[in-house]
Amino acid sequence: MSTLTLKGPHWVTARQYRRTLWLAAVGVGGSLAVIGGLRIWDATQDTELPDRWGRGYDLLRGAMEQFSQGMLALPLLVGAFVAGPLIAREFESGTYKLSLTQSITPTAWLRAKLQTATTAALATTLALTAVFLIGWPRVAGTYGLHWADRGPYEATGTVLTSYVLLAVAVGALVGQLVRRTLVAMAATGGVVGLVLLILGALRWDFLPVRTITGPAHEGVHALVTPGSGLPMGQGLIRADGQRLPGYFCYGSDVPDGSCRPDEAITAQYLDYHPASHFWPTQLIETGIVLALAALAAYVAFRVLRSRHP
């Protein structure tokens, strides 16, 4: 973000944190260099080798695993920065009073800070997402990089940007309430992290699972998830229709009803989410997070007005 295109409090905010903005730009550039370079190296491997073999691919896959986890942590970093250096430090040091003497209202002061932070955070997030998508087609579907795994799920959809917006809003609120830099950073990281954990645990309950069934007798193997679907539950079905989780014949992939003669096993089942559930789930979760972000931002401005009318 160039400070030359900004005016007033926006320019002041960008000028104050220009090192952070440059650091974000360097992070994006470094990520592009690594992922792009490995992607090119992988593409130049000997085509006679089996698919997904070669040093370039191995390094690309490792880098993408680490990158996906870094993307998952991005909202925590954004929230901690907004709550700490951007807001809480101003109140802790009292420097916000100087800004309020420059013919600017408290609301305009906070709005300028959040608009600048939001623009920078969204630009960084979208740029990093674009870099991630450069390497994603090559490693998608491998162990730890399934479309529904934590990290890749956030980095390839819309939820990551919504979590970043939530982090900005929560940071603005917590920064005002706590007014201690380190405490505000830790509290914001805890709140945003808790939301990530809760919605991450609930997201696959937003849509009903699909179910496939099959025979369960000696010589019949366990059902396999169709395509690249996400398995949610698997087991056996009794004659009365009751589901029994897991298999009664442990140590074997054959759900053989004869292993338990006291149970009348008639079939096996598999619950799963198909890959087509990715975008509906993304949009539902994005809507929930954006609603939470709007609520946090509203409360942040109400708190500001109550303390600095």
Q: Identify the burial level of 15 via C-beta atoms within 10 angstroms of its C-beta, where 0-12 means exposed, 13-18 middle and 19 or more buried.
A: exposed
| Cα→Cα distances 258→110, 183, 240, Å | 70, 61, 17
Query: Per-residue pLDDT tens for 283-300?
Result: 999 999 999 999 999 999
- The pLDDT of residue 243 is 87
Quote the tokens at residue 288.
């929930």
Q: What burial letters (b/e) apply to 58-83, b meaning 16+ CB within 10 Å? A: eebbebbbebbebbbebbbbbbbbbb
Alpha carbon distance 298, 192 (integer Å): 17
Can you give the pLDDT at residue 96? 67
Percent of the chain with pLDDT over 70: 85
Regions of the chain where pLDDT drops below 50: 1-4
Q: Could you report the per-residue pLDDT of 59-82, keeping only the tens digit for each?
A: 899 999 999 999 999 999 999 998
- Using an 8 Å Cβ cutoff, are 71 and 132 in contact? yes
Contact 308, 276 (CB under 8 A): no
Q: Are 149 and 277 in contact (CB under 8 A)?
A: no
The model carries a pTM of: 0.88
Taking alpha carbons only, the member of 127, 155, 137, 124 closest to residue 39 is: 137
pLDDT at 248: 60
